[in-house]
Amino acid sequence: MKGRLLLLALLSASACSVDPYPYELEEFAVPESGIKTIVIGDWGRNMNVNLKANAYIMNELACRFPINAVLTTGDNFYENGVSGVNDAQWNVSFENIFTGECLRPIPWYPSLGNHDARGNTQAQIDYSLQSNRWNLPATYHDYWVEKDSVWVHFIVVDTTPFVGSDNDDPNSYTGLQLLWLDSVLGSGNPDWTVVYGHHPVYAADGRHGETEELIQKFVPLFDEYGVDIYLCGHNHSLELIKTEAKTLYVTSGGGSTPQSSIENNPYNLFGVAEAGFVLSSFAKDSVQIDFISKKGQQLFSYVSPQTP
């Protein structure tokens, strides 16, 4: 009897040691050259099972393709951001989750969400000083990435203060941010201009939907300067939206807990309520956007040619 109990205990221990996410990333093609970024949002949920599955597939992707950066579309830490640089959330939602050998060397460029704003946002900025992969120099900022003669201008916006505000004072936080956005959108000569933040501009229904304040404030600037892509989260979904204008609107908010349902609007090219993330591949003359599920399935792929 003791021998049988010992055998059962050994079998149980063996079962617990098996990787709980033995998913196999589907085979699919991306441009060989250029810049590749993983985009994940609404993710930091303290060892959430979907978060761990996404981290596993993100590492598999990084082992297959040369990923240049991980971008976040906010809500990096639930429910109330972080209290400081030593908050336990840094380990249970980030450092001890994204541990894959291929993923660890890749730099992260986060944006802030409404749940982050509930906590100490300065701590997320300060963490950049003690992490070799977390890069958040300010609540809104821009940076350039170049590889294989492909230049992408990434512009990070802080959307939370715009929501529910009709403040048009140019000296307010939102007013100053709009003036800054106007100035950086007109700078340089990139192959691709990508703006990203937390709240959606256009979106499917089913959770938060679109954000009227950003339609009013951001869209005129996007149209004026020909922004190629706007990346967001907030809706816990994966979406691709194309209006009559140039800008593609991409939602990557499936980092941990997907919303229960989604109702696509006529401008949605794609939309699902699933856990997953986005791979963006920038070549000189096209960008490929792949929506990847937590199980490694290529849910949807879209190629957009470079246009004037």
Active centre residues (catalytic): 208
Cα dihedral 193, 217, 268, 258, rounded to 10, equals: 90
What is the rounded distance in angstroms from the CA atom of residue 79 to the CA atom of residue 291?
26
3-state secondary structure of 175: helix
Instruction: List Cβ neighbours of 146 (8 Å cut-off, separation of 6 or more).
Output: 35, 152
What is the rounded distance in angstroms from the CA atom of residue 108 to the CA atom of residue 102?
14
What DSSP letter does each residue of 182-202 carry, written as one string?
HHHHTSS--SEEEEE-SS-SS
What is the rounded distance in angstroms from the CA atom of residue 251 to the CA atom of residue 200?
7
> Positive or negative, the Cα torsion across 53, 60, 301, 160?
positive
| Residue 240 backbone dihedrals phi, psi, to 5 degrees | -130, 125
Instruction: List Cβ neighbours of 190 (8 Å cut-off, separation of 6 or more).
Output: 144, 151, 152, 153
29's tokens:
């093609």
